A = this chain, B = another copy of it.
Amino acid sequence: MATIGDVAQEAGVSRSTASYALSGKRPISEDVRRRVLEAAEALAYTPNAGARALATAQTKVLGLLARFHEDEFAPAMMQYILGVTNTARDLGYDTLLVTEADGVRALRRITDSRMVDGVVLMNVAQDDARLPVLRAAPQPGALVGLPDDCSGLDVFDLDFEEAGRVMVDHLHRLGHRELILVSQPEHVVERGGAYVWRLRDAALERARQLGVTLHAVYGESRQPAAGRLLNESLDAHPAATGLLINNEAAVAALPTVAHARGLRVPEDLSVIGRHSADFAATFSLPYSFVESAPDRLGSMAVRQLVRRVESPAARKEPYVVRFISPELVSLGSTAHPRPRSS
């Protein structure tokens, strides 16, 4: 493989001149510049990443830490990852994807060894053990997901509180007075998945204000349990006319459950999910939903991260906590209520 020395020799200049001609970091005579560029072209010169990283203390690589819990719905993760990798590339960065179970260890490894210029943490828990490690690291960090303590890091998440209110408001406005909200399983909350209760508590609060009865239940995250729990919930609350689902596995199971029960949507039951448009298309879900915008969140996290990486000024700016406003995408699965039980 050609080195900068080969290029310099081929162009008949010094290595520093070759380097400057390629980077444009100082004035170079037109003639020399041309010869260097031609030589680089002829030799198919590409700078050695390790050498450059060593000299510049920049790797042009971002770390992406994703966690996969047995009880979580893996398909939803792909969109977040693509949001990160594609945006990173647009900004000139490659992405080191780390999926190992021990996130703390992994984070130490990639930051201490200077493999990455910055880190995006996905699936952040309220009391995430990776956060202190990331704060102590020399690289900046961005989170997707809202922890209890946001200090020292940029945080991006869907506004789950507002999502809960939007769902309740929408059905209340249509005349519904009794709703069911299916969340993630309880142990997701226990593990620190704050988005579960953020949406739920805001929905409950709003329901109370509006005089709406809201039955909040924990869902399941695997099949067929997710479908079974839907059935139980519908059985338990026969007077409910609206169903809110903050749980990808549950909403994926709903078409089958509705069919089996002979339940028509929205005639017999109004439904609003909380997932992504891509998810809805993939699973062919005919339900209105609050867009969770995984690719946009990943993209936003990367943009902010790269700003901090590249600008010492940006590095000093106050940290941000930015929420994406929930957008209700209507697929016609809500209507005025009609009592379900005869």
Q: How far is the CA of A297 from the CA of B323 in the complex (A)?
A: 39
A313 lies within 8 A of chain B by Cβ? no
Residues of B within 8 A of A249 (CB): 282
Residues of B within 8 A of A108 (CB): 46
Copies in the complex: 2
A241 lies within 8 A of chain B by Cβ? no
Stretch among A80-88, A119-127, A171-179 lining the B interface: A80-88
Residues of B within 8 A of A48 (CB): 54, 113-114
A50 lies within 8 A of chain B by Cβ? yes
Please give me the residue from chain B that is nearest to A89 by CB atom.
B100
Size range of the chain A interface in the assembly: 35 or more
Partner of A224, one of B82, B100, B259, B284: B284
Q: How far is the CB of A321 from chain B (nearest CB, A)?
A: 27
Residues of B within 8 A of A89 (CB): 98-100
Residues of B within 8 A of A95 (CB): 96-98
Residues of B within 8 A of A240 (CB): none
Partner of A283, one of B1, B94, B223: B223
Stretch among A67-75, A188-196, A207-215, A334-342 lining the B interface: A67-75
Please give me the residue from chain B that is nearest to A113 by CB atom.
B49
Please give me the residue from chain B that is nearest to A106 by CB atom.
B89
Q: Do B115 and A49 touch (CB < 8 A)?
A: yes
Q: Do A284 and B98 touch (CB < 8 A)?
A: no
Residues of B within 8 A of A260 (CB): 259
Residue among A95, A98, A110, A112 having the largest count of chain B Cβ atoms under 10 Å: A112
Please give me the residue from chain B that is nearest to A281 by CB atom.
B223
Residues of B within 8 A of A223 (CB): 281-284
Residues of B within 8 A of A53 (CB): 49-50, 53
Q: How far is the CB of A118 from chain B (nearest CB, A)?
A: 15
Q: How far is the CA of A108 from the CA of B112 in the complex (A)?
A: 28
A59 lies within 8 A of chain B by Cβ? yes
Q: How far is the CB of A121 from chain B (nearest CB, A)?
A: 16
Q: How far is the CB of A66 from chain B (nearest CB, A)?
A: 9
Can you list 7 A-B contacts with CB-CB less than 8 angstroms, sorted by A residue number?
A48-B113, A49-B50, A74-B282, A226-B284, A255-B256, A256-B259, A256-B284
Add 20 more A-B contacts to A46-B112, A50-B53, A73-B282 (CB < 8 A).
Answer: A46-B109, A47-B113, A49-B53, A61-B96, A64-B97, A68-B82, A74-B75, A74-B278, A85-B100, A86-B99, A89-B100, A94-B110, A95-B98, A222-B281, A227-B284, A249-B282, A252-B282, A255-B256, A256-B259, A259-B260
